[in-house]
Amino acid sequence: AQSVTQPDIHITVSEGASLELRCNYSYGATPYLFWYVQSPGQGLQLLLKYFSGDTLVQGIKGFEAEFKRSQSSFNLRKPSVHWSDAAEYFCAVGAQNDYKLSFGAGTTVTVRA
Amino acid sequence: DVKVTQSSRYLVKRTGEKVFLECVQDMDHENMFWYRQDPGLGLRLIYFSYDVKMKEKGDIPEGYSVSREKKERFSLILESASTNQTSMYLCASSPGLAGTWGEQFFGPGTRLTVL
C-alpha cells in the first residue's frame, strides 16, 4: 500500500520569501501525486498533480512541484509567498488501479509580514 | 466547477445519538469518499463508494456506516456517537481511478462535536 510522509509539521516564512514543502512517498510502482491546500475553515483545493511526463509540474497560485523518482519525493515550491498562502498543505499519493488516495499529515504554513 | 456540498458546517450532538452527515456532488462523479481530519493525523479514509449502493471500508470504518442510494448523494452515519468521534469530516468525489482522473474534489467540511 502507498503512503506519504510530510516531514515538516509547521513552517514559518516571511512574505516575499521562497517556500519549499517536502513530501516523500512510498509506493512500488508509478505513483500519482497530488498537492492540496486547505485555507482556514475550508475544504481542500487541488494545487497540482503529477501523473506522468515532465517531472516539473506547474499548478495554480504560482506553485510548482518536482517529481524525483530516485528520492521518492514530490516537493512543492513557490518563489515568493503572499500572506494569502498561509494555510495547511497536504501531499497525497494514489495508485493507477485504485480509487483511493493516501494523504500525508499536512504542513501548516504561517506567513509573517 | 465541481461542487461538493455538505449539509452542515458545524454540528453538536450528544453521546449515544445517531448522527447523519450528508454530502451531495453535482458533477455525476462515480466515486465518493468520507474522511475525518484530526490535527497531526491528516486525512483518514472512513468509507468510500465507487457506485450506487456499493461501498468499501477505508482505514477507520469502526463506529461508522454509509449509504449511497443515489449517485449524487453519500451519507455518513454515526450509529451511536461517542466523544472520540469529535472531528472534522470531509466529503470528496472523483470521476475515476487515481491514475486517470483521480483527483478528488472536496466539500467544505462538517465540524462535529460530540458532548
Q: State pLDDT tens for residues A57-66.
A: 999 999 999 9
In chain A, DSSP assigns E strands to 3-5, 10-14, 19-21, 24-26, 32-38, 44-50, 56-58, 64-68, 73-78, 87-94, 101-103, 107-112
Note the pLDDT tens digit of each residue in B50-69: 889 899 999 999 999 999 99
CB within 8 A of A53, min separation 6: which ones? Answer: none
Q: How many CB atoms lie within 10 A of CB A106?
A: 25
Q: For B97, which of A34, A41, A99 is closest by C-beta distance?
A: A99
pLDDT for B2 beyond 80: no
Q: Is B24 within 8 Å of A89 (Cβ atoms)?
A: no
pLDDT for B101 equals 55
Of residues A65 and A94, the one with the higher pLDDT is A65
Phi, then psi, of B74 in degrees rounded to 5: -135, 120
DSSP-derived 3-state class of residue A63: coil
Section B86-96 average pLDDT = 92
Strand A107-112 relative to strand A101-103, pairing? unpaired
What's the confidence (pLDDT) of residue A100?
83
Looking at residue A54, what is its pLDDT? 86
Taking the mean position of all CA atoms in its chain, how far away is CA B5? Answer: 11
- Rounded to an integer, the average pLDDT of B37-47 is 93
Residues in chain B: 115
Inter-chain residue contact A98 with B98, CB threshold 8 Å: yes
**pLDDT for res B98:** 55
Nearest CB to B45; choose among A41, A45, A100 = A100
Q: Considering only residues 23 to 52 of chain B, which have any Cβ-Cβ distance to chain A shorter than 8 Å?
A: 31, 33, 35, 40-45, 48, 50
Whether A97 and B41 lie within 8 Å, measured CB to CB:
no
> Which of A94-98, B5-9, B35-39 has the lowest average pLDDT?
A94-98
Give residue B99's pLDDT.
53
Q: How far apart are CA A58 and CA A74, in angstroms?
A: 12
Give the Cα separation of A10 and B29 in Å (integer): 34
Q: Round the average pLDDT of chain A to a whole number and report it.
A: 93
Longest dimension (CA), chain A: 44
pLDDT band at residue A52 under the 50/70/90 scheme: confident
Mean pLDDT for A83-97 is 91
Asked if A105 and A38 touch (Cβ cutoff 8 Å), the reply is no
Mean pLDDT of A19-45: 91
Placement of cell 449524487 in the chain: B72
Across residues B10-19, what is the average pLDDT? 97
Residues 6+ apart with CB under 8 A from A28: none
Looking at residue B100, its pLDDT comes to: 59
Among the listed residues B83, B70, B63, B86, the one whose alpha carbon sits nearest the alpha carbon of residue B25: B70
The more confident residue out of A30 and A45 is: A45
